[in-house]
Amino acid sequence: MVITEELAPGALGEIVTLHSKFYAVHWGFGLFFETKVARELADFADRAAENDLILIAHDGNGVAASLILDLNDPISEERGAHLRWFISADRCRGTGIGRDFMARAVAHAEGYCEGRMWLTTFAGLKPARHLYEEFGFSLASEEDGEAWGTRVREQEFRR
């Protein structure tokens, strides 16, 4: 597996595809979610800065995992770096790539924003929540909502 730290041509589409396929199969998310991921990821790509962290794992089948630590998200304010687009393909689950990416993100945040980080997710993603908590995140808020295109228990974690 090769890990790159840039959004090379094709990476945006493959990251969107990873998200849309996983969440469609496992959570029933549809086109609303796919366009949300595509729009927000494209917006990030347009304003990506040198201090942001981009981690993309590639294997023989294309993009296998991604994590972006957005240090310049205009809505972050005091929350610090926004952890975004963190996913691994089903073929990579259990390989340690998620743990490796999370360790790199925490180290990056330690160097740029005193380790302050935040992310949004939803209830039910138990392995992800376990990983977040293992790296010092805690649940900051939780409420029912439809920001993902379907009704879920939305959560914000902070570190």
What is residue 147's predicted lDDT score, i.e. its pLDDT?
85
Does residue 104 form part of some domain?
yes
Strand partners, 59: 62
What is the residue range of 57's domain? Answer: 2-116
Q: Is residue 72 part of a domain?
A: yes
Mean pLDDT of 42-55: 97
Residue 43, SS3? helix
48, part of any domain: yes
Q: What is the pLDDT of residues 13-33, one digit of tens each?
A: 999 999 999 999 999 999 999
pLDDT attached to residue 134: 97
Q: Is the dihedral of CA 119, 30, 46, 65 positive or negative?
A: positive
Give the model's pLDDT for residue 24: 96
Give the single-character DSSP code of 149.
S
Collect all residues with Cβ–Cβ distance below 8 Å to 133 and sequence separation of at least 6: none
Per-residue model confidence as pLDDT tens digits over 100-140: 999 999 999 999 999 999 999 999 999 999 999 999 999 99
Q: How many CB atoms lie within 10 A of CB 30?
A: 13
Asked whether residue 148 carries a pLDDT value surpassing 90, the answer given is no
Q: Say whether pLDDT at 93 is over 90.
A: no
Q: Domain for residue 56, yes or no? A: yes
pLDDT-based confidence at residue 159 (cuts at 50, 70, 90): very high
Domain CATH number, residue 79: 3.40.630.30
Nearest-10 Cα torsion for 83, 40, 36, 97: -40
| Number of folded domains that form the chain | 1
Q: pLDDT digit string (tens) for 50-78? A: 999 999 999 999 999 999 999 999 999 99
Whether residue 80 has pLDDT greater than 90: yes
Distance CA 33, CA 138 (A): 25
Region 71-93 average pLDDT: 94
What's the CA gap between 74 and 99, in Å, rounded? 27
- Asked whether residue 10 is assigned to any structural domain, the reply reads yes
Q: Is residue 137 part of a domain?
A: no
**Predicted local distance difference test score (pLDDT) of residue 149:** 87
Within a domain: 143:
no
Is residue 158 in a domain? Answer: no
